[in-house]
Structure 1
């Protein structure tokens, strides 16, 4: 039976030893809900031949679900060696040898330029914001880490590749970062959830018309009612903690 991890304070998420300890005890956990809630948003950007990179896989089953949906060229990374070791063992036990799992830092991606069709992260970048200070004017060290991550993602994406970010980050906070002149991607987003909103950003490399401060475009997606789940998950506590730190 899956062990529920005690509610944690958001600042603990910045400590690598917290994740090692957690992953040594916890079999699986899905930040911002499982793949079934995002499948309809991810699949239009995939083909059976797509190469996919997942940032901060932790103990999520998203890579397995993508594989079952027909995408087999998948690479997952995580900073925690324990998470990586556990994921490798789990995938091997389920006969999923094709999924690669590597220990790596998303701030310094160890991959060649333009080698992935899709990069996806689910709550991983949010960790960088838990001690960011004023959300309208984040600390320089926060911006430096976020930009390092995004520049790495932009670099490893193929021409016309796609970056999907699933996050609590609201458009008016993420817009200045995604629209930085360093990037050639267009940006669209949608949201779902009843009491608390999750945002899904779709960034398409090479489709930005200029480096001007463009508006984010919203696209509509089917509504999914998560109310009952939201009140019982650690995502709820994470949202409260981040909001408190930013107020």
Structure 2
């Protein structure tokens, strides 16, 4: 992950991972930090995204923060682009930054991904990078997440599914491994197919491509559980990847 903030900037390090669930943390962080990329910058996964940016497609980015991904998507042809973030500080800063760069056609709105304020079937592509991972910070057992975690995740996914056009695509860039994410993505509420691939070197990041209306019958088969090593990283290791790691972590060893 590119942890380098803009020159003269540094991000606020939380005292506990649960701070990522507090909106005040993000407001404070975005007040101090000019730009930061979760899960590496766009150049590392562009080859996995570019083919889905069809001419004149409408794109929604969930949790834009202070990332430059929206600008890179715009360069790649996403001219009808809407970004949302829960933090009003992030939204205000992003609006100013885009205007200063002459990108007046990128819309930036304050909104909650759990309650998307858009009509049905209005986007060709919805994309998120590390945003949904925040919902898993306090999920408990990764094989059996807390009901409140599942409720929030499902609210987000149902909203995404609703705003996607027929044959629209949802791209989720995450640290969440397939044996944890596929059972959620394959819930009977959704008609999308689920494909995934990875990128990264030291850490592997997962890119899920969910195509609405293209679900195959075999995807209704429950995913077989298999064992993976329990992840329990030291705090400094976690900070090298920020909150991404927390999908499998119940408690930090500080």
Helix, strand or coil: the match of 1:245?
coil
CA distance in 2, matches of 1:204, 1:144: 22
Root-mean-square deviation over aligned CA pairs:
2.0
Residue 147 of structure 2 is matched in structure 1 by 140
Pairing partner for 2:169 from 162, 169, 175 = 162
Gaps of 5+ in 1: 217-230
Change (3 A) 1:16 1:166: same
Pairing partner for 1:7 from 13, 17, 21 = 13
CA distance in 2, matches of 1:174, 1:214: 12
In the alignment, structure 1 residue 187 sits paired with structure 2 residue 180: no
Q: Deviations over 1:129-169 (max 9, x none)?
A: 00000000000000000000000000000000000000010
Gaps of 5+ in 2: 1-6, 225-235
**Number of paired residues?**
233
Q: Deviations over 1:165-224 (max 9, x none)?
A: 0001000000110000000000000112232211100000000023722669xxxxxxxx
CA distance in 2, matches of 1:98, 1:233: 37
Taking structure 1 as the reference length, the TM-score comes to: 0.89
Q: Deviations over 1:39-62 (max 9, x none)?
A: 111111112301000000000110
Change (3 A) 1:183 1:93: same
Pairing partner for 2:123 from 116, 128, 135 = 116
Change (3 A) 1:110 1:233: same
Taking structure 2 as the reference length, the TM-score comes to: 0.86
Pairing partner for 2:243 from 227, 238, 244 = 238
Change (3 A) 1:239 1:150: closer
Helix, strand or coil: the match of 2:249?
helix
Residue 89 of structure 2 is matched in structure 1 by 82
Q: 1:55, 1:121 within 8 Å by CA — same for their partners in 2?
A: yes
